[in-house]
Amino acid sequence: MSEAPTSMTIMTNIFTNPQTVFDEIKVKYPVLLPFFTVFILQAALVILMYMSLDYKWFIDELIERASTADTSQEDIENMRKGLEMMSATTTGLIGAVFASIFIAVMYAVMSLYLVIVSAITNDGIKFKQWFSLISWCSMPSIIGILAGLVVVLSSSNGQILPESVNPLSLNELFFDMDPAKGLGAMMAGTSITTLWTFALMVMGYSKWTGKSTAVSAGIIAILYAFSYTIWFAMV
């Protein structure tokens, strides 16, 4: 009998040969390494970004976004005072906490959706198994996080908006829309690693359930549509 792969081996194979690890994930459903890798790196990126920001410029940007033609100078000054009450470091720490909570909530919501689908299709796959699959299939996101860290560390003036920090986002690569609202925000929150994760999810779901690639893609596409709805509601 061959030795069961370790989490480090699974991490390597999820990038290089994912079909070889889906069965192992389903049986063992290890989750600590993939979940906390994304968790820690994302928190580090948020903290480092805020600590590197030109915070006065950042506040000016936030005020400009929030201001309308009817916004009085008094309202602008009140907004500025409120934003200046917290330092960049404090804001970064709070942002890191919220980013980490957001990741956990999204993984849980996605897992719950797949549990409901499992109940309907009677495939017998449990919440912990789906949570593990989602965690492992989300590993490509660390490439975007590391790319964001490079952007932050290489910035000469600290004038980086949080929604523009990922150079692999569809907005940064192709669309160049306003990343603060509407479709631009969606494109800024979607990167080529998101598409990679989607492909892994389809592969994993198909292998676990025996469903065709087309059916699996449809089920995962609904999951993504639902996840984006939750995301927009939270942000």
Give the tens place of pLDDT for each residue, 171-229: 888 887 777 777 777 788 889 999 999 999 999 999 999 999 999 999 999 998 887 77
Token digits for 103?
A: 């990741």
Report how far residue 212's alpha carbon sits from residue 162's, in angstroms, rounded to the nearest whole number.
Answer: 38
- Residue 233 is predicted with a pLDDT of 67
Give the residue extent of every domain in the chain.
29-234
Query: Residue 205: beta bridge partners?
Result: none
Distances, alpha carbon 109 to alpha carbons 34, 58, 116, 199, 227, in Å: 17, 32, 11, 19, 8
CB of 12 within 8 A of CB of 37?
no
pLDDT bin (cut points 50, 70, 90) of residue 46 is: very high
SS3 21: coil
Q: What percentage of the chain reaches a pLDDT higher than 90?
A: 50
Mean pLDDT, rounded, for 17-43? 91
**Tens digits of per-residue pLDDT, 104-136?**
988 999 999 999 999 999 999 999 999 999 999
What is the residue-averaged pLDDT of the chain? 88
Query: Residue 222: beta bridge partners?
Result: none
- In eight-state DSSP terms, residue 160 is -
Q: Which residue has the higher pLDDT, 85 or 4?
A: 85
CB of 136 within 8 A of CB of 10?
yes
**Tens digits of per-residue pLDDT, 148-158?**
999 999 888 88
- Residue 1 is predicted with a pLDDT of 43
Residue 235 has pLDDT above 60, yes or no: no
CB of 144 within 8 A of CB of 191?
yes
Residue 86 has pLDDT above 80, yes or no: yes
